[in-house]
Structures are given as C-alpha cells and as structure tokens.
C-alpha cells in the first residue's frame, strides 16, 4: 500500500511541475507548499471516489514497471474470430489502454485545483504518455528453427507463405487430405480447427522441423511471443519397415513413383499387413505451450494443416515421421532390389550361350565383295590456324609442319607411296626449308631456318646453301653440292672440247668438277648425267648453286657468262 501512496505523490508532483507559471498569482506561495494540506483533504464524493482513485493509481503502477517488448516481436492483431475477446484459457488478465486525447488537447494540462481527483490526473498523465510515444513498426518475427543441424533424420522447412482459403480440401494430394482427415476426425472442437486453419492460411506457422515421430514449430497467436507446438506420431518398428520395403520392391513402379514425389495407393494401404503408414483418427498427439486445454488447440491445428502442405510436396516427410530418412530408405530399397534381381536370375538358371555350330562355321561360303574405296580428295586441305601462346611453339613452323604432313598423307593416299619416306634428318630439314618461299631473311622464315638447323645440328648458312641446291635439282642437286665423286670416262671427258668449241676457256678438272681459270664459275656433273652450274666470288671458294641443270655443259652455263668471258 505504501507503494500506491508513493506513486500518487509522484504523479501529483509531476502534474504541478508541468503547470504553467502564468497560472500562479504574483506573490503567491509555491504550489508545492499549498498543495500538501489540500492533498490530505478527502474530496467530496465519499468512499467511491477514493476507490476509483486507488484503482487508477494501481492501474498506472501495474504498467510502470513492465518491460518494453522485444524489437523483433511486434504485437499482432487478433484473428477475425477473436476480435470480440480472448479465450479465458489463453488470454488471462489484460491491461485496458486509456483512450488517447485528441491532437488539440494532447499537451494541455487539466484545470484543477490541488485537491482535484487524483484518478483523473493519473488518467490524463497516462493518456499523454501513450499519445506521445511513436507508433511501433510491425516486424516479422525471427525464426527459431536451426536448419544447420539438419541431416537424414532431421529436416527443417522454411515457413510456408500465406495462401487463399481453399474451397475444397486443404491439401492437394490424396495422402495430404488423408492427414487432414485424421486431424479433423480426431478433434474435439470444430471451432478450434477452423481458427487453426485460418492461422495456417495466414502464415502464422514458423519454420517446421520434422524428425522421426515428431513435428515441431512455433505458431504465432494473439500474443507477441509465439507458442511452441509439437505433434507426435508413432514410429514404425524394424519388422514393420521390412514389410513396407518388401511391398515396395515387389513392384518397380513404387520406387519410381516415390522418386517422382508420388505415394501410390497400394504402397500406403498396408494396414492389412500391420503397417499403418498414414495416421488414423486419434493417432496425432498434439502438445502446445499455450494454456488452452483443447484437443487440439488452434495452434496445434495450424501446425497439422501446414504439415499437410509439406506432405503434398514431398511424401518422404511422412516416411521420416514414421522413422526412416530418405537416404536410408533409398539405400535399403536399392539393396533389396539388387538381392531380389539376383535371386530371380539364380532361379531362372543360366541361359544358352550365343554361338555357331561347328559345321556351319566350317562350311565354305562366298563372301560379298568389298565396297569400292572412297575417291581421294583432289588436293590436301589447309590445316587450321595456330595462334601464338606464351611459352608455346612458334605458330609459323607449326603451321608449316602441319601443311607438309597433309601433303604427304594425300600423296600416300593417291599413289600408295611416301615420296620422302627414305630421307635422312638433314635431307628432310632441307626439303622443309626449301618448300617455304624465301631464303631465311624474313622474320617468319628466319625462325623456321633456325629451328630446322638446330634440329639437324647445322648452322643457318649451311641450311641456306643446301636449300639453294635443293631448289636447283632436288635430292640429286643436294647430293651434287655435298658429295664429290669420280665420274666414268665419256661424258665428262667430252665436256672440255665442247666448251673450247664454244670459245670458253679451258676449265680445270677435279673429280666431277670443271672450274673456270679465274675461279668464279664451276660446273659439276651429277650422277644422273646433268651438269650443275655454281658461282663464287673471286678468290674465295664459296660456291653457290646457280641456274638450271642441263645435259649440255654449255647450256648449264647460260646466263652465268658469255662465250667470250675470259
């Protein structure tokens, strides 16, 4: 009681402090001295007025020490069925808020004397406090689920969105409607079911956690704090699961239907075998933290209705409720299906092996002729372009090698022989370099000549001279450049008189070579009887192939010097 009197004095002091100074007459004593005697006087009205004043102070003191609501839990409006009042089992005592004053009088002080009714001043103060507080913004409550702990035997589903009321059944599948039927036939109060269905349709059910034999979720009711709701269902024993798996393996379509999100009627209706997969009336055991003693309360009914929507999307939720996870079920079905197929194959016995009778295999028979070979392409195709890559081979030699390989393959396909198959490494390098125009002086051919010379163990100058000989006479021209030999008598001996008759000086002979007296022109006789002309700077013996090979030594010198050349 002393707390009530103390709160009354505090309210009176606050009211007097907020009174405008203009209301105090000049020269008058402060209000705090003059108000004490008046406050002790009992106002007119008798005991009823004192009771009203005490009740007002008690109501104000009851709300003065109440903790503010949490930031993430906003007050919710009551459902349509509960706007008139709250159930006595759930609501309890609720504080009645005073009506807020109008905007024009929100901050006006009531004109009362120090001895005015304390209940009226308390009501005014409470009304001013309520009206000055900013309106709280509604925020969605936090989910209390823990999806990070999910596994094969624990699955957490996010809160389902609200939806419009369905004209027919709540669920979309026959097994979901069977779950709803078990709920409705086992309920004791249809009104609670209707309110629970409204909760489910408006999205008042938080994330749902499903474990063997248990469905758990938090359901938001008329209070800001949600209620913890559980729905239990008996799990199946090992013998029941053996009968269920045997029935599923008997027909391969059962496994395919489960993987497609379907639950066959023949697989669910196993009550005759003692495997009640779907619940019946009274099998669902709800439990809620609300004070309502209904069976089920509207919060548990809301959770059951939302569980039916989960069953529509995934029938494995029903199997998890009965005690087995999806992965464990699929593994068990795979093992049983493999064992069943093995037993069936063993019962059938080994089949006849494919084969041919020995008499039929040894009987001579005429074979059909082979088809005609496909025509060869008219020319080799160009290889694709090879872009340059850091650290990779230079694209120009790579493209050259690919082009040469295509040409050799085409020649082998059309003629049946490889024209360059017997060449040595050096000869093949000279052939490849000679096939590319240029003499190794440009940027592209310089890289090609350097790589070929390095592969053959020569330098680029030797390769350039050999390329000139190859271009002059092919493989025979390269042999003339590198291999001197002793020709037989006859053609070589008749060459000197022929050159003397053409007014050429007497060339000096050495093995298969005839050299001009001045040392700048030379003729070389090849093994095929052709003469090859060479030139060199005076006094240097640096011979380079020139001209075109010819059977006539004078014709081979055409273009290198006139007959009157001394």
Q: Identify the residue with better confidence: 317 or 443.
A: 317
* pLDDT tens, residue by residue, 8-28: 565 566 555 555 544 444 444
Range in 1-10, 152-161, 299-308, 376-385 with the lowest mean pLDDT: 1-10
Q: How far apart are CA 184 and CA 51, in angstroms?
A: 50
Written as six digits, the tokens of 288 are 């809620």
Q: Identify the residue with better confidence: 35 or 20.
A: 20
- Assign 280 to helix, strand or coil: coil
> Quick one: CA dihedral 258, 260, 266, 272, positive or negative?
positive
* pLDDT tens, residue by residue, 304-358: 999 999 998 898 999 999 898 889 888 888 888 888 888 877 777 677 778 888 8
- pLDDT at site 216: 95
Range in 27-31, 208-212, 248-252, 362-366 with the lowest mean pLDDT: 27-31
> Quick one: CA dihedral 289, 291, 293, 294, positive or negative?
negative
* pLDDT tens, residue by residue, 189-198: 888 999 999 9
Q: Which of 275, 391, 230, 249 is nearest to 329 (CA)?
A: 249
Q: How far apart are CA 158 and CA 161, in angstroms?
A: 9
Burial string for 117-147 (b: 16+ CB within 10 Å, else e) reads bbbebbbbbbbbeebeeeeeeeeebeeebee
Question: Where in the chain are the domains?
Answer: 147-340, 394-477, 484-566
pTM of the model: 0.41
pLDDT at 103 over 50: no
Written as six digits, the tokens of 121 are 């001043």
* pLDDT tens, residue by residue, 495-524: 888 888 888 888 999 989 999 888 889 999
Task: Report DSSP state, residue 272.
Answer: G
124-133, 263-272, 344-353: which is most confident: 344-353
- pLDDT at site 116: 38
Q: Which of 510, 516, 519 is nearest to 556 (CA)?
A: 516
Range in 199-213, 251-265, 272-286, 472-486 with the lowest mean pLDDT: 251-265
- pLDDT at site 49: 62
Task: Report DSSP state, residue 287.
Answer: E
- pLDDT at site 526: 92
Written as six digits, the tokens of 499 are 């050159």
Residue 58 near residue 93 (C-beta atoms within 8 A): no
Task: Map tokens 């497609």 to a residue.
Answer: 260
- Find the angle CA(140)-CA(145)-CA(147) to the nearest 5 degrees: 120
Element (H, E) at 301: helix 298-313
pLDDT at 217 over 90: yes
Written as six digits, the tokens of 262 are 């379907």
> Quick one: CA dihedral 131, 132, 138, 144, positive or negative?
negative
157-171, 200-214, 537-551: which is most confident: 200-214
- Find the angle CA(109)-CA(115)-CA(117) to the nearest 5 degrees: 65
Residue 180 makes CB contacts below 8 A (sequence gap 6+) with: 169, 170, 171, 304, 305, 308
* pLDDT tens, residue by residue, 470-483: 999 999 999 999 99
> What percent of the chain shows pLDDT beyond 70?
70
* DSSP result, 418-450: -TTTT--HHHHHHHHHHHSSS-S-SHHHHHHHH
Q: How far apart are CA 559 and CA 95, in angstroms?
A: 126
- pLDDT at site 561: 52
Residue 411 makes CB contacts below 8 A (sequence gap 6+) with: 417, 418, 419
Q: How many helices (H) and strands (E) does the chain have?
A: 19, 12
- pLDDT at site 145: 64
- Helix/strand/coil (H, E, C) string of 499-541? HHHCCCCCCEEECCEEECCCCCEEEEECCCCCEEEEECCCCCC
């Amino acid at each position: 009681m002393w707390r009530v009197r103390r709160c009354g004095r505090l309210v009176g002091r606050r009211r007097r402090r907020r009174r405008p100074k203009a209301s105090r007459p000049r020269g008058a004593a402060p209000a705090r001295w003059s108000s004490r005697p008046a406050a002790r006087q009992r106002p007119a009205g008798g005991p009823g007025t004192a009771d009203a004043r005490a009740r007002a102070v008690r109501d104000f003191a009851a709300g003065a020490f109440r903790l503010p609501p949490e930031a993430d839990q906003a007050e919710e409006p009551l459902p349509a069925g509960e706007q008139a009042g709250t159930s006595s089992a759930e609501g309890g005592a609720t504080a009645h808020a005073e009506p807020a004053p109008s905007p024009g009088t929100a901050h006006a002080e009531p004109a009362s004397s120090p001895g005015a009714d304390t209940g009226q001043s308390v009501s005014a103060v409470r009304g001013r406090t309520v009206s000055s507080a900013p309106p709280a913004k509604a925020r969605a409550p936090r989910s209390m689920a823990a999806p990070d702990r999910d596994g094969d035997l624990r699955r957490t589903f996010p809160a389902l969105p609200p939806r419009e009321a369905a004209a027919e059944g709540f669920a979309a599948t026959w097994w979901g409607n069977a779950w709803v039927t078990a709920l409705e036939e086992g309920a004791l109060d249809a009104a609670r079911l209707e309110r629970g269905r409204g909760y489910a349709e408006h999205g008042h059910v938080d994330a749902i956690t499903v474990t063997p034999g248990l469905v758990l979720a938090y359901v938001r009711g008329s209070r800001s704090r949600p209620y913890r709701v559980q729905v239990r269902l008996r799990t199946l024993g090992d013998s029941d699961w053996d009968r269920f798996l045997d029935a599923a393996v008997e027909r391969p379509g059962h496994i395919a239907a489960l993987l497609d999100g379907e639950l066959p009627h023949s697989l669910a209706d196993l009550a005759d075998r003692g495997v009640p997969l779907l619940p019946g009336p009274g099998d669902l055991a709800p439990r809620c933290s609300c004070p309502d003693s209904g069976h089920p309360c509207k919060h548990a009914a809301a959770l059951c209705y939302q569980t039916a929507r989960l069953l529509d999307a995934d029938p494995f939720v029903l199997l998890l409720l009965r005690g087995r996870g999806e992965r464990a079920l699929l593994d068990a079905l795979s093992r049983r299906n493999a064992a069943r197929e093995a037993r069936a194959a063993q019962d059938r016995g080994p089949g006849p092996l494919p084969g041919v009778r020995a008499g039929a295999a040894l009987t001579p028979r005429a074979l059909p002729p082979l088809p005609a070979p496909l025509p060869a392409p008219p020319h080799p195709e160009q290889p694709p372009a090879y872009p340059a890559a850091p650290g990779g081979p230079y694209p120009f030699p790579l493209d050259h090698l690919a082009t040469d390989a295509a040409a050799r393959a085409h020649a082998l396909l059309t003629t049946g022989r490889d024209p360059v198959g017997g060449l040595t490494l050096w000869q093949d390098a000279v052939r490849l370099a000679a096939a590319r125009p240029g003499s190794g002086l440009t940027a592209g051919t310089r890289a090609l000549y350097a790589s070929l010379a390095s592969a053959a163990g020569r330098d680029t100058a030797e390769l350039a001279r050999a390329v000139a000989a190859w271009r002059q006479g092919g493989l025979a021209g390269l042999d003339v450049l590198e291999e001197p030999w002793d020709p037989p008598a006859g053609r070589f001996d008749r060459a000197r008189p022929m050159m003397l008759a053409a007014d050429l000086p007497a060339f000096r002979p050495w093995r298969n070579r005839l050299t001009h007296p001045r040392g700048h022109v030379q003729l070389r006789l090849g093994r095929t009887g052709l003469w090859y002309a060479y030139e060199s700077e005076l006094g240097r013996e640096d011979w380079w192939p020139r001209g075109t090979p010819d059977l006539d030594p004078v014709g081979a010198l055409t273009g290198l010097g006139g007959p009157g050349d001394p």
